[in-house]
Amino acid sequence: MTLFFFFFAGSSTFQAAGKSYCIEKLWHDPVPKAISYTGYVTEDGHNFACNHSQDVSSHVIFVVDRSGSMGSPDIKPKMVKFPENRLGCVFEAMVRFIRTRIAANLQDVMSVVLFDDHGQIAMEREHMSEPQVDKLLTFEDAGGTVYSSGIARVEEILVRSVSDPAVAGKSPAVVFLSDGDNYGGLDPVHCVNQLKKLEQSLIFHTIMFATDPTNSAKKLLTDMAAAGDGMFQVSIDEIQLSRSFEDLAKSLRPKVASLM
């Protein structure tokens, strides 16, 4: 007598013969694109309880507001080598970020864009290491705040990265930080959307760094992060900022998936 076994996949995990199956109900809507520490969500919105994947390295592009307000001494870094102002706190937080990534044995590449009214590429496609941050000490706070001026430089970096074998295979991620409102320039959300068209795998995170963040700045940075499939965070002091950078360093876990 032949026996037939029927399995119905509902909301519980279904595994057989070494294969993993989506744990959502049949004909479910795509779940939000995200990668958790215990599971995996595919590009087309299927949710797997297990995660047969491995971390890969990233090309991290820091986009940092260096406008006049970033010279405010209301928040100061702990490390004495950095300027005693908001900008110095950002440099210190970048060190925390780099240390966290290096501890994970990842071969990351980093670029840095500093912006006020105009954006400037301070560093491009360098091997990620702590001494790289010291090279930024020659830059000082000045000028106004135009978000799109910094994003435009990111686009230039991404375009040049295509032909760079040192960046090939590394997942691009942007960490965009400002301490104030945007004044003029192009629509930053539209600019982020354009970056995503250029590089679909790009993740765009934003941070509001200020003791008195405005609602308008928070909304804009939130919308930018949403457009870039990233996270928005608010940091009101140097301790929170360092934690935010460390958390982002841990969350940048691009995957090479193998679901079979």
* CA 136-97-63 angle, 5° bins: 50
Token readout for 252 is 């940048």
Mean pLDDT computed over 64-93: 97
Distance CA 144, CA 66 (A): 9
pLDDT given at position 47 = 65
Within 8 A by CB and 6+ apart from 8, the residues are: none
Percentage of the residues of the chain whose pLDDT score is greater than 90: 73
Distance CA 256, CA 11 (A): 26
Mean pLDDT computed over 160-176: 93
pLDDT band at residue 80 using 50, 70 and 90 as cut-offs:
very high
Within 8 A by CB and 6+ apart from 126, the residues are: 109, 110, 111, 132
- Sequence length of the chain is 260
Residue 104 reports pLDDT greater than 50: yes
Residue 188 reports pLDDT greater than 90: yes
pLDDT given at position 153 = 98
Distance CA 259, CA 241 (A): 36
List, for residues 18-68, the tens digit of each pLDDT value: 455 567 766 677 766 544 445 556 556 666 665 555 567 999 999 999 999
Mean pLDDT computed over 228-249: 96
- Write down all domains in the chain, each with its CATH number in brackets: 1-51 (no CATH), 56-254 (3.40.50.410)
Positive or negative torsion for Cα 190, 116, 249, 161: positive
pLDDT given at position 118 = 97
pLDDT given at position 252 = 85
